[in-house]
Structure 1
Amino acid sequence: MSIPVIFLHAFPYSPAMWEGQLEVVKGHPVLVPEILGYESLESAAAHVLVEMDNRGWEKAVFVGLSMGGYVMFRLWNLEPERFLGMVLADTRATPDTPEQKAARAQMALRIQQEGTGFLPEALLPGHLGESTRTRNPALVEQVRQTLLAAEPAKTIASLKGLAERPDSVPLLPDIAVPALILVGEEDTLTPPADARQMAAQIPDSRMLLIPQAGHLANLENPKAFNTALRGFLRELEGH
């Protein structure tokens, strides 16, 4: 049987952000759980494990982008034996700084007061790279609509979970499965320096820069992202 693959989405998006990757994993059992709306990333991770158990999957390859990567570290902390490999995309192992925590609290308060109408203005500049913002108006509009559609209560809950997530750096040297680290070269939120830091500490890891992409590398340069993902899955199948 082909390796099961689990995709973990970014904040405040939905599993739909992975549509462009589903072609790559055709023939693999696939799970794309909803992980928005949990006040702790441990709860989100526990939800993923329940979904795995419901399908009778013992192990899988996990692919997580941004918040999806943070949830993946909690999964590794809870049940590392469930991993066949991991793809950490546009994410980092370090916790929020006091400034970042304060910004999340402020955003949650603002959503409570006025809804999610301001999210595109607040998040688009950091979520999409300069190449996308200047050359791909269709994607900019797609992401804008997705941000506007984010459910306020779930978004607020996730902001709390993100702000309170623990430091995952101590986990890195003990990651005992192959890891592929992907990062958009124009990512300013979790920049290539963060990816290099993880790659230096995870024993069996390789890192790739995704050109002309920011924080949502799988949407901004699906061709490069999918090529890397396909190669990694082939390598794991060969193990």
Structure 2
Amino acid sequence: MQEKVFSTELGDIAYWLSDGIDPSKPWAVFLPGLTADRRLFDKQAAYFQGRANFLIWDPPSHGASRPLPLEWTMDDLARWLHQICEHEGIRKPVLVGQSMGGYVAQAYMELFPESVSGFVSIDSCPLQRRYFAGWELWALKRTKLMYLSIPWKLLIRWGSAGCATSQYGKTLMRDMMEGYSKREYCDLADHGYRVVAEAVESERAFDIPCPALLICGRQDKAGSAKRYNREWTRISGIPLLWIEGAGHNSNTDEPKAVNEAIEGFMESCGRG
């Protein structure tokens, strides 16, 4: 992949483009979850090389997009992503967001509703206020002390096992977590959860203005992700695909099933 850098007022954002951009092929933009980096989508990058054009970023304050202070909002993430897409001439991409990446995609669509051809949520949740109980938002804004109270080695073990069911997925998550110091990881997680809560509490519409697909691991144990997805598909009518045997990072646990679902969805968007 081609590594590039986009400069913002807070710092530089690292991102990668697929090799051999083909104007005749569609674009996918892969957005990793909180504390994860571009490696979360390694299996997707390998599969879609030659099948589609794609962009993957290390989210601000993650991976190679450091140092970058924890001063960003959800809208900042969406605006920076849009600026990167504009800079690269990426028009009407399919946004593929895992967990936090799905929230970023929803903020992107809220701000730039005409600029997306499709949305794939992987183990993410809606940003609309009606899905969240008040205590859940309260808890999202108060995670730092809980994280800091857990020994780092134990936190890594719990974090990697809680996000994935496959050995590949667990090892990958562990490697990504070990790229941070304990304090850096806890501060990043705390800030990310607060940003999500603040976006939900804004009570904006966060409508999905394009075709969409929800993907969720059948063994996803992260918070209430499965409950949110059941309600999301029930209320919105957006199709929900359960991935058998997969956890919260279902694209690392069952990449074949997820890749084929994304590819089929992108083809349907192209036909539309």
Whether TM exceeds 0.5 here: the answer is yes
The one of 144, 157, 171 equivalent to 2:174 is 144
1:157 shift after superposition: 4.0
Aligned residue for 2:144?
Answer: 105
Whether the 8 Å contact between 1:12 and 1:36 is mirrored in structure 2 is no
Q: Which residue of 1 is the match for residue 20 of structure 2?
A: none
**After TM superposition, what 4+ stretches of structure 1 lie above 6 angstroms from structure 2?**
none
1:124 matched to which residue of 2?
160
Q: 1:158 to 1:100 in 2, by over 3 A?
A: closer
Q: Percent identity?
A: 23
State the match for 2:249 in structure 1.
216
In structure 2, C-alpha distance between the alignment counterparts of 1:7 and 1:138, rounded to whole Å? 19
User: Could you list the per-position Cα deviations for residues 23-50 of structure 1 after superposition, in whole angstroms to 9, with x for gaps in the alignment?
Assistant: 3423322111121425322221122111
State the one-letter code of the partner of 2:191.
K
Deviation at 1:170, TM superposition (A): 5.6
Give the count of matched residue pairs.
227
Q: TM-score, normalization: structure 1?
A: 0.83
Residues 101-129 of structure 1: per-residue CA shift (max 9 Å, x gap): 21x22256x29x98x6553134234312x
Report the counterpart of residue 10 of structure 2 in structure 1. none
Q: 1:8 aligns with which of 31, 40, 44?
A: 31
8 Å Cα contact 2:160/2:171 also seen in 1? no
Partner of 2:228: 194
Unaligned residue ranges in structure 1 (runs of 5+): none
Q: How far apart in 2 are the matches of 1:169 and 1:201? A: 17
Q: Deviations over 1:140-177 (max 9, x none)?
A: 233212211136547624531322322288635x3221
Q: Pick closer, same or farther for the CA change 1:70–1:194 going to 2, 3 Å.
A: same
Structure 2 counterpart of 1:80, one-letter code: P
SS in 2 for 1:97: helix
Instruction: Give the one of 78, 88, 93 matched to 1:45.
Output: 78
Does structure 1 conserve the Cα–Cα contact (< 8 Å) formed by 2:117 and 2:210? yes
Instruction: Report the Cα offset of residue 21 of structure 1.
Output: 0.6
1:156 corresponds in structure 2 to: 187
Distance 2:58 2:90 in 1: 18
Map of 1:56-95 to 2, 5 A cutoff? 56-93=89-126, 94=131
Report the CA distance shift for 1:117/1:44 in structure 2 as closer, same or farther (over 3 A): farther
SS in 1 for 2:241: strand
User: Larger RCO: Structure 1 or Structure 2 (Cα < 8 Å, ≥ 6 residues apart)?
Assistant: 1
Alignment of 1:156-195 (within 5 A): 156-157=187-188, 159-165=190-196, 166-167=199-200, 171=205, 174-189=207-222, 190-195=224-229
RMSD of Structure 2 on Structure 1 (CA):
2.6
